[in-house]
Structure 1
Amino acid sequence: MRKQKIIKTLVISTVIVLIAVMTLNEEKNTFSSLALENIEALAQGEDSGPVRIICWGTGNVICPIRGELIEDYLTEWSIR
């Protein structure tokens, strides 16, 4: 009687451990479909046309337009 109880407990414990191991080893997709679409859209980039750049002053920053040394520059970004 006692031996059967030990065997039954051992079998149930083994089944529980196997289920736990199988559950923990499953790959889980943590991103929703909306998040995946957003990631894909960000990866593709945007082609919003030319960006206006204004350079001014004299300093040690290189103007992206003229290649001269300037104090600073401003870029205008627009969302379309």
Structure 2
Amino acid sequence: MAKFKVRAKRVYQETEKAIVILTSGYGGTFVPIPKSQISASKTVKDDQGEWLYLEVKDWLYDKIKGDLSKISAGDFIILT
């Protein structure tokens, strides 16, 4: 399982079926993450702001990691 956190402000939309993350920069990319492939998610607020912690299946992370890498470094962190 791949674990990462993204700033809550990067969450563009949450529907019954997916969480959509918007990447940084002009003309950012929408990255839909199917809820059926999310093992765990929670929102946590700390001194640096509000974060969405996600745990997704490895194959899905491999598919979306290129798009997620477009998020500025301070807004996206891979966890071990």
TM-score (norm. length: structure 1): 0.17
TM-score (norm. length: structure 2): 0.17
- Which one has a larger percent strand, Structure 1 or Structure 2? 2
Larger radius of gyration: 1
Looking at both structures, which has the greater relative contact order when contacts are Cα pairs under 8 Å and sequence separation is at least 6? 2
- Which one has a larger percent helix, Structure 1 or Structure 2? 1
